[in-house]
Amino acid sequence: MYENKENHNVPEVTFKTRVDNDWKEVTSSEIFNNKKVIVFSLPGAFTPTCSSTHLPRYNQLASAFKEHGVDTIVCLSVNDAFVMNAWLADQEADNIYLLPDGNGEFTEKMGMLTDKSDIGFGKRSWRYSMFVDNGTIKKMFIEPEKPGDPFEVSDADTMLAYLAPDASKPSSVALFTKPGCPYCAKAKELLNKHGHTYEEMMIGKDVTSVAMTAVSGRNTTPQVFIDGKHIGGSEDLETFLTA
């Protein structure tokens, strides 16, 4: 059974990170002392749930966490620094500090090391999240011990509900664009003006026009989705935001 370590101090270890192509050692004290820190730990970079949901949602809710006193949001995985940096670039998760626990030392001391040799992963972290205040673990959300990779309680929304039950959550916004499109620029300006962060999918780079048409039913750009609802182009967005 994975131990809940609320009211304990985080383990003191030294993490081997890479900054500007150089090795940099970072200690637990540097990360946690005199700060309010959220940590969410997951089995591996580039894996499906981690890439599609766990990391992106924490990145999306970062502003809400910071409004309620959180200084740093840390994503930890038993991966090396090169893998974590590549994943950060791929995800464009600029609001999250990706921390490599390459040897699994921190994870082992947390009692969260798990054996995933059956799928060729070796030793990895069990999925969990925690809120740490000045080095002391105040709250942990540990995924239930079920087969596979359960993802029920360590998500960003659960953590935000714990820290700020009445907090308003940012909308989930997806935006299809293409280079040089003035209406796309207008849509982004509108979203920024109204305080919406968004995930941009550029035709020819991130997605094809065929895929955009398939999900939106339209072949013009931009196409905007908010909380899963198709809004439409820039004029539709303006109407929606000013209604």
Which residues face 20 on adjacent strands?
none
AA identity, residue 171: S
- Do the Cβ atoms of 76 and 107 come closer than 8 Å? yes
AA identity, residue 141: F
Note if 75 is an active site residue.
no
For the chain, give the number of residues.
Answer: 243
Residue 37: its H or E element: strand 36-42
- Describe the chain by its helix, strand, coil percentages, rounded to 5: 35, 30, 40
Q: Which two tokens stand for residue 43?
A: 């089995």
Dist CA 47 CA 132 (whole Å): 26
- Do the Cβ atoms of 171 and 226 come closer than 8 Å? yes
Active-site entry in 50, 75, 181, 184: 50
Q: Write out the catalytic residue numbers.
A: 50
